């Protein structure tokens, strides 16, 4: 069955997409996780998270990630039986230790623990270490915002193992994609959520493009000689992702390295994370803040548009709208990718 790709997809793909129901997708990913040693609980959480990411239009962090997770479990990069836990260092600082496992349950534990601490004391700062891929960060920041918190997440420090992005003006991949995410209670339509890599595209888009046999957007990649490319294979042959916004994305990535490696220390598994959470009610009552937020956001939505734009959007609202629209329709997955997922599930 040929269908259109999800809104916001960065894949230039005109091949067949398979329409897959949410329950089928969850069951299939769940089997992959359990086949590779995950507990039933972790398999369920990961499968539901990846499907929600696809429904949100974030194909780079959707069900195709199950293929990389299986690879990482098999080669020992991630421990499928790990259980994340809160640890207290000798100086009293709390951290989340992911025990080398997949990062989605660890990041969920961090978000819940951090929000609870912020409600107690007004603010919480929490480091996450020893975790694998954490999935779509926006899901955790959205949770915090719905709890009445402002959450800031910064990831980085994995450059020794994840040399993906060239520094501004350079042609060699030296940095990870070092993402930032911020969530805050918004107006009448819910939280405002910023979730972005400091590179032109997240690394997951390259894996998605390679899996589907698709091309990437202009301006995202360079080949090993520093020339522009849209072919994901050029990345794997010595190329690099470009920093988002040139020097601005590069500068943000450098700051993530300073925070997550220079400050937090050596990285294991994938990268280190810093999560800062504030209870917004310490500054303004929830209903007052919501009304003020809606005044700001409404004015932005009603801004006259430039040619080629249907409307002005608010960060995070597109993903929420896509979930509502896509849930009854299911996932629209490139046929080669879905075939590989089904094969990995043993079906």
Mean confidence (pLDDT) of the chain: 95
Average pLDDT over residues 161-190: 96
Q: Residues 306-335: pLDDT tens digits?
A: 999 999 999 999 999 999 999 999 999 999
Give the pLDDT score at 6: 66
Over 80: is that where the pLDDT of 9 sits?
no
Q: How does residue 47 score in pLDDT terms, banded at 50, 70 and 90?
A: very high
Question: In this structure, how many other beta carbons lie within 10 angstroms of the beta carbon of residue 311?
Answer: 9
Q: Residues 48-99: pLDDT tens digits?
A: 999 999 999 999 899 999 999 999 999 999 999 999 999 999 899 999 999 9
Q: What is the CATH number of domain 82-199+244-329?
A: 3.30.1370.60
Q: How does residue 208 score in pLDDT terms, banded at 50, 70 and 90?
A: confident
Over 90: is that where the pLDDT of 347 sits?
no
The whole-model pTM stands at: 0.93
């Amino acid at each position: 069955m040929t269908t259109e790709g999800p809104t916001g997809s960065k894949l230039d793909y005109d091949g067949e997409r398979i329409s897959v129901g949410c329950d089928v997708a969850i069951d299939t990913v769940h089997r992959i996780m359990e086949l590779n040693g995950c507990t039933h609980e972790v398999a369920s959480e990961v499968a539901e998270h990846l499907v929600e990411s696809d429904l949100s239009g974030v194909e780079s962090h959707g069900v195709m990630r199950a293929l990389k997770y299986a690879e990482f479990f098999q080669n020992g990069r991630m421990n499928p039986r790990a259980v994340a836990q809160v640890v207290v260092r000798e100086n009293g600082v709390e951290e989340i230790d992911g025990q080398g496992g997949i990062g989605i349950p660890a990041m969920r534990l961090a978000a819940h623990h951090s929000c609870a601490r912020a409600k107690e004391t007004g603010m919480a700062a929490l480091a996450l270490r020893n975790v694998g891929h954490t999935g779509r960060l926006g899901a955790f920041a959205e949770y915090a915002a719905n709890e009445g918190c402002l959450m800031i997440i910064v990831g980085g420090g994995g450059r020794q193992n994840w040399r993906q992005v060239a520094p501004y003006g350079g042609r060699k991949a030296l940095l990870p994609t070092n993402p930032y995410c911020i969530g805050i209670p918004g107006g009448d339509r819910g939280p405002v959520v910023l979730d972005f890599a400091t590179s032109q595209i997240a690394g997951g888009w390259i894996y998605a493009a390679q899996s589907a046999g698709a091309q990437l957007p202009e301006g995202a990649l360079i080949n090993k000689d520093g020339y522009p490319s849209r072919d994901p294979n050029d990345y794997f042959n010595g190329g690099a992702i470009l920093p988002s916004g040139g020097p601005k994305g590069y500068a943000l990535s450098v700051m993530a390295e300073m925070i997550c490696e220079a400050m937090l220390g050596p990285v294991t598994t994938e990268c280190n994370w810093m999560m800062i959470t504030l209870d917004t009610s310490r500054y303004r009552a929830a209903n007052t803040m919501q009304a003020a937020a809606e005044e700001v956001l409404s004015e932005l939505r009603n801004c006259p548009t430039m040619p080629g734009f249907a409307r002005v959007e608010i960060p995070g609202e597109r993903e929420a709208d896509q979930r509502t629209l896509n849930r009854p329709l299911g996932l629209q997955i490139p046929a080669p990718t879905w075939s590989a997922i089904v094969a990995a599930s043993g079906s």
